[in-house]
Amino acid sequence: MNRKRRTLVGAAGAAALCSAAPFAAAQQVTLRFHQMLPPQATIPARAIVPWAQKVEKDSGGRIRVQHFPSMQLGGKPPELFDQAKDGVVDIIWTVLGYTPGRFPKSEVFELPFSSGRAEPASRAFWEYVQKNAQDEFKDVKLIAVHVHGPGMFHSLQPINKLEDLKGMKVRGGSRMINIMLEQLGATPVGMPVTQVGEALSKGVITATTIPWEVVPALKVEQMVKHHTGFSGDRGLYTQTFAVAMNRAVYEKLPPDLKKVIDDNSGIEVAALFGRAMDEGDKIGLEAARKRGNNIVMLDEKETARWREAAAKTRDVWFKEVAGRGIDGPKLAAEAEALIAKYNKL
């Protein structure tokens, strides 16, 4: 090889190395996403996986999201938020009500007969948190908050009127729901949703409060024969959820990958999770119908009786949060206005 050719080859090799250097140096990240439900459940299948796929695509493959369902990384569902906060895992999806009293301002969305369809209510919840409750999430990078669709009963015994609930042992998924169940005359039994199946099969509870969407994942339609919902565009209750990321992990990301996370956070992600809940409700209802179960929708007159009895829950909550310097009536009015706003869109 002559001298001139050796020079050209060397230059070309150096250029190739220089052009490859940015790609070699480009940071790649693996994020561990931990949550409580099996992978076939509504939120994992219809929200978490699509979200993770979009993050991976938007990052050009530089972010990889590892999904760990069913508490595979250890701990119990009420520990999920702290797992994200403390860096035990990188991202979590959790029920806010599993840590009672920790998110008092967010609890307003769990007041009885506050919301109906999950997608608009989840948009409302995100805007509400941005205006009123950011301090409750200051220790994490908040990716989304959302709610589920209309809350109802799934029971071993029929519930056709308010009196049927008296003394019945009913699973409640949060502090607020348990307060409401007491006001309605039931005996609340608090537990994460993952324990519902075993509790029903062992007779620990006679009924559970869950939306339609989670019924198939837990096979509740195979354990109970009765399902009771309510007239109108509002459910008896809802629960609040969050997708949260460890703040230190987020802060260590290079600016372009931070932008990917930022672009996949916020009101549209809240809507994605809410929309998944709404779609899941249809599937859960159909599963109960296929089993030939007894599905009851209480008429307007009976629903009004439940509304009146459950209204006392608001008074209890207003008094409790007032003791923490929180204006409950003001926050409730704000939440109701936002839900009405997004229901019209």
**Could you give the number of structural domains in the chain?**
2
Q: Are 46 and 279 spatial neighbours (Cβ–Cβ below 8 Å)?
A: yes
For 162-180, write each residue's pLDDT tens digit: 999 999 999 999 999 999 9
* One domain for residues 125 and 257: yes
pLDDT at 4 over 90: no
Could you report the per-residue pLDDT of 110-159, keeping only the tens digit for each? 999 999 999 999 999 999 999 999 999 999 999 999 999 999 999 999 99
| DSSP 8-state secondary structure symbol assigned to residue 7 | H
Q: Give the mean pLDDT of 22-41.
A: 84
14, part of any domain? no
Does residue 10 sit within a domain?
no
Same domain as 167, residue 115 = no
Same-domain status, 127 and 200 = no
Q: How far apart are CA 290 and CA 298, in angstroms?
A: 21
132, 334 contact by CB (below 8 A): yes
Domain endpoint, select from 256, 279, 302: 279
pLDDT digits 0-9 by tens, 214-257: 999 999 999 999 999 999 999 999 999 999 999 999 999 999 99
**Is residue 208 domain-shared with residue 317, that is, in the same domain?**
yes
Does residue 17 fall inside a structural domain?
Answer: no
Co-location of 124 and 143 in the same domain: yes
Same domain, 309 and 173: yes
pLDDT of residue 299: 98
Q: Is residue 157 part of a domain?
A: yes
Residues 308 and 206 in one domain: yes
Percent of the chain surpassing pLDDT 70: 93
In a domain, residue 8? The reply is: no
In a domain, 13, yes or no: no
Is the pLDDT confidence value at 20 over 70? no
As beta bridge partners, residue 188 has 170
Same domain, 185 and 291: yes
Q: Measure the N-to-C terminal CA separation of the chain; round to a whole number of Å.
A: 73
On whether residue 1 sits in a domain, the answer given is: no
Asked whether the whole model's pTM tops 0.85, one would answer yes
Residue-range definition of the domain harbouring residue 307: 152-236+287-343
Establish if 47 belongs to a structural domain. Answer: yes
Query: 3-class DSSP state for residue 154?
Result: strand
Residues contacting 250, CB < 8 A, separation 6+: 141, 258, 261
Q: Are residues 43 and 157 in the same domain?
A: no
Asked if 104 and 232 sit in the same domain, the reply is: no
Instruction: Compute the mean pLDDT over every residue in the chain, rounded to the nearest whole number.
Output: 93
- Does the pLDDT value for residue 41 go beyond 70? yes
Statement to judge: residues 41 and 120 lie in one domain: yes
Q: Are 83 and 109 members of one domain? A: yes
Q: Which residues contact residue 157 at a Cβ distance below 8 angstroms, ignoring those fewer than 6 apart?
A: 164, 168, 206, 207, 226
Residue 227's CATH number: 3.40.190.170
What pLDDT was estimated at residue 18?
42
- Residue in 176, 166, 302 with CA at minimum distance from that of residue 228: 302
